[in-house]
Amino acid sequence: MTALVTSWPFWAVLSAVFAALTAILAKVGVEGVASDVATFLRTLVVVAVTAALLAASGQWRQVTAVPGRSAVFLVLSGLATGASWLCYFRALSLGDAARVAPLDKLSVVFVAVFGVLILGERLSALNWLGIALIAAGAVLAAIKG
């Protein structure tokens, strides 16, 4: 069990399950609510839960010890997250969750491309085939047919 809990695939799949629940719960929650207000409320919950986790685990001290360069990139990541959430909730308020979420998952394709271009990561031909299939699947899933 320890090996499972310390493996990245376990946490990645769990992340996908929670992301799926996020789409479904948000679609229901955004009905009759401005998408920006919905994003704000969701963000407050994320902040509160994360703060409680830091408090419970005694990690508050580490917040002040984050190196400057890391802090800059984490702030930039936070801005990108906020922009993503605002766009996502706007899309959910306008479209079907079953079609919005797959297009949102084009982020997987963008991460692969950015990882190669910016981080210098390498992907095999098989990896690129998978990325292409994800892109094709996302687009096909989003088409109203």
Query: pLDDT grade, residue 5 (50/70/90)?
Result: confident
Mean pLDDT, rounded, of the chain: 94
- pLDDT at position 98 over 90: yes
Q: Which residues of 104-138 are buried (b: 16+ CB within 10 A; e: fewer)?
A: bbeeebeebeeeeeeeeeeeeeeeeeebeebbeeb
Residue 136 lies in a domain: no
Residue 34 domain-assigned?
Answer: yes
Query: Would you say residue 32 lies in a domain?
Result: yes
| pLDDT at res. 112 | 97
- Can you give the residue range of the structural domain that contains 52? 2-104
pLDDT of residue 45: 96
Q: 107 to each of 48, 84, 104, 126, how far by Cα in Å?
A: 26, 10, 6, 19
Question: Residue 32's pLDDT is what?
Answer: 93
Q: Predicted confidence band at 102 (pLDDT cuts at 50, 70, 90)?
A: very high
Q: Is residue 75 part of a domain?
A: yes
Model pLDDT for residues 51-73, shown as the tens digit of each residue: 999 999 999 989 999 999 999 99
Would you say residue 92 lies in a domain? yes
pLDDT score at 144: 86
The letter for the amino acid at 135 is: A
DSSP letter at 143 equals S
| Whether pLDDT at 75 is above 90 | yes
Query: Does a structural domain hold residue 130?
Result: no
Tell me, yes or no, whether 28 lies in a domain: yes
Number of domains the chain contains? 1
Q: Please, is 88 exposed, middle or buried when counting C-beta atoms within 10 Å of its C-beta (0-12, 13-18, 19+)?
A: buried
The pLDDT of residue 33 is 95
Instruction: Specify if 76 maps to a domain.
Output: yes
pLDDT of residue 3: 87
Please tell me the distance from the alpha carbon of residue 40 to that of residue 59, in angstroms, as a whole number. 25
